[in-house]
Structure 1
Amino acid sequence: MTQEHIILPAEWHPQSGVQLTWPHEHTDWAYMLDEVEDCFINIAREIVRYEPLLIVTPYPEKVKQLLIDKMDVSRITFFCCLTNDTWARDHGAITVLKNGEAYIYDFAFNGWGLKFPAHFDNLITSRAHESSLFNARYENRLNFILEGGSIESDGEGTLLTTSECLLSPNRNGEWNRKQIEEYLMKAFGLKQILWLDYGYLAGDDTDSHIDTLARLAPGNTILYVRCTDIKDEHYDALLAMEKQLKNFRTLEDKPYRLLPLPMPKAICEDNERLPATYANFLVLNGAVLYPTYGQPDNDRAAGKILETAFPGYDITGIPCTALIKQHGSLHCVTMQYPQHVLKNDYNEQNYTCGTCTTVQ
């Protein structure tokens, strides 16, 4: 029997499109729906400049009318499906390549360790598969809790993650670290897993997702959040994270090129600090979208660092203060799919999971 060669593509691998799961009045965004929709519109407008967009929503016609005068909606597929929330990074499908063929992994999503309802969001990937949205084989992996925001791949066999999240007792509590590592190594064809044991953001609901703290980039590069204010509550933890990153080694036993991202100045709402981070960027075909927070010096500095990490890419900042009010940012609301995975005949078919008329 031929041994499977499995690759978990890096985010900068060529893409067929990106998923957004749109906010609506039955989500936690209800109290600020106009504000967050403006943010989603800006993200959607930039995505369709570079590649197709899949929008998951119970209200496809309403969203289409919202966008039709603002961008090229012929580049958008509207998939009608019930949703609890908008965090596509964590309820979206994770794609691997097995001997060059695409497989959609459908992991279980339980609302970041049973913190929030996820009964609709946990069905989106299977509904999309049943509606033939993917040019990929479907693999049910609902025996394991895994969110896309908790893992980073370089596409060459290295996975970057955090022990705080993957070892959370409310995710796969019956599994120990060795068992989880063995599972991930086999599922993703990995050669090594780099576990970050330090680092957090105040206000973060994800138990320290890696995409809020440190990100892989081409050329054995890691971008990470650095805190230089000794009075900041994050200083000690992020300093410990930086020290651990300096000890990580590539598969060739070389140190990584480390590029520090600035720590945004504290943003608070109702006396609660919000988890603003520049690490939550999205890589597209030829572009990087990154969150900005109305802090011109920090926003520009983050953009310059991304230019260094992704030479030749268009680097575009998108105001995301709205998103952090629900404790996430730009990368959290998106999920990319490698080339050939999303079908290119979206607007010639009526994609619906058949449950959109259900009252939430």
Structure 2
Amino acid sequence: MTKTRFDAAREGFRMPAEWEPQAATWLGWPVQENREELWGPHYAAVCEAFALLARTIAKYQRCIVTAYTPLVAQARALCGPTVEVLPLAVEDNWLRDCGAIFLVNDDRVQQLATRFRFNAWGEKYTPYDGCAQLAVDMARLAGVPLQSSDMVLEGGSFYSDGQGTLLTTESCLLHPNRNPHLTRADIEAELRRMLGVTKVIWLPGNPAEVETNGHVDIIASFIAPGRILFNAAEPDQGEYYRCMQENRRALELATDARGRRFEILELPVPRGHDTWGTERFCASYANYVLVNGAVISSSYGVANDALAREAFARAFPDRLVELLPLAAISVGGGGAHCSSQQQPMLGNRLAVTPRN
């Protein structure tokens, strides 16, 4: 008998929105070995920033750090007793891009993990065998079944609203370094099959962003049904401003899976910040993390920090706003969201029991 190919929606599964109740946040840990060009002389500061992020998440819910095995003792010492640290083969901290993506069924009594193929953002970094294995490791530790896809996809390249809509970018998903053999229609079909979505909204993205080729999680995010938080660049930022305006126009013309037009809330961009001596530096409030009861993002010691705090308070009026000094993470070309992955809650109980 031929086995029926997995289809999330047909089997009653969907990817929840990030604002839905969470059982845990999985967080990556930075690795210096084989990534010297990424962190350079800032590695100690980077580790301190990740530890602060982990401890802050742990104030609100379970935080599970996946650490390259030789770094487990370091991670445990810096994160402290409230954070769980698990030894794995993963070579990078960008867990959202290479780790498992969790789905729930409609009544939230079942959960599974999905896995896409990972090629280090178009073969930009090697080795990445441990990263490519991470989704399998996470599913095993969480004790949930795993479904796999042969399509290359990073978790930071899309957002789900939990109601059938997926937001992504052309600059990333259509880049030839990911899936040159697939058409836009092919990619949409695989997103529907694996994540249970019914509509894909394509933004232009940011072709000039070289690390991820324009992941959507530094451009725009769903914050509630029919509402989007948008990374609003300023007119004097030249081509970057024009790029963001193109993305905004695409959002203004779009409707979600239920036919709603979007209310767009603006989030400022950092201005006048230290770039830590690297062109890779990714300064963005938009790369934030949602946990039960709070929203967590980076501060940069600039005037727009206060405006960002106000914007987050408007966007998430029922959550505390935690703006933390996490700028060191941006040295690697990403942020807090890139390094984390939420695991949803099942019913009223926690849905994850990691095992060493």
1:204–1:328 Cα contact (<8 Å) kept: no
1:50-96 alpha-carbon deviations (Å, 9 max, x no partner): 1111111113233212333xxxx2x4322111222110111111011
One-letter amino acid of the counterpart of residue 313, structure 1: R
2:227–2:262 Cα contact (<8 Å) kept: yes
CA distance in 2, matches of 1:299, 1:110: 34
CA distance in 2, matches of 1:224, 1:115: 28
Quote the RMSD (CA, aligned, Å): 2.1
TM-superposed deviation, 1:253: 2.9
Q: TM-score, normalised by structure 2?
A: 0.88
Name the structure 1 match of 2:199: 192
Aligned partner of 1:254 among 254, 257, 260? 260
Counterpart secondary structure, 1:126: helix
Name the structure 2 match of 1:354: none
Name the structure 1 match of 2:345: 339
Aligned partner of 2:79 among 67, 74, 91? 67
One-letter amino acid of the counterpart of residue 146, structure 2: Y
Name the structure 2 match of 1:135: 143
CA distance in 1, matches of 2:278, 2:61: 39
Name the structure 1 match of 2:184: 177
Distance 1:19 1:273, change over 3 A: closer
TM-superposed deviation, 1:274: 2.8
Name the structure 1 match of 2:130: 120
1:86–1:333 Cα contact (<8 Å) kept: yes
Distance 1:25 1:250, change over 3 A: closer
TM-superposed deviation, 1:273: 6.5
1:203–1:327 Cα contact (<8 Å) kept: no
Of residues 328-337 and 269-278 in structure 1, the stretch that sits farther from structure 2 once superposed is 269-278
CA distance in 1, matches of 2:152, 2:183: 13
TM-superposed deviation, 1:135: 3.4
Counterpart secondary structure, 2:251: helix
Distance 1:42 1:108, change over 3 A: same
Q: Which runs of 5+ in 1 are unaligned?
A: 352-360
Name the structure 2 match of 1:149: 156
4+ runs of 1 displaced by more than 4 Å? none
Name the structure 2 match of 1:357: none
One-letter amino acid of the counterpart of residue 76, structure 1: V
Name the structure 2 match of 1:33: 43
Name the structure 2 match of 1:224: 230
CA distance in 2, matches of 1:272, 1:48: 32
Name the structure 1 match of 2:331: 325
One-letter amino acid of the counterpart of residue 62, structure 1: Q
Matched, 1:211 2:217: yes
Distance 1:262 1:204, change over 3 A: farther
CA distance in 2, matches of 1:51, 1:189: 26
Percent identity between the two aligned chains:
29
Question: How many residues end up aligned between the 2 structures?
Answer: 337
1:317-349 alpha-carbon deviations (Å, 9 max, x no partner): 0122211111111111111111147534x4xx5
CA distance in 1, matches of 2:351, 2:260: 36
Name the structure 1 match of 2:66: 56
1:212-247 alpha-carbon deviations (Å, 9 max, x no partner): 100101141111111223353312111121112111
CA distance in 2, matches of 1:50, 1:266: 32
One-letter amino acid of the counterpart of residue 17, structure 2: A
Q: TM-score, normalised by structure 1?
A: 0.87
Counterpart secondary structure, 1:325: helix
CA distance in 1, matches of 2:31, 2:234: 38
One-letter amino acid of the counterpart of residue 260, structure 2: K
Counterpart secondary structure, 1:258: strand
CA distance in 2, matches of 1:136, 1:84: 23
Name the structure 2 match of 1:356: none
CA distance in 2, matches of 1:293, 1:133: 35
Counterpart secondary structure, 2:236: coil
Distance 1:237 1:47, change over 3 A: same
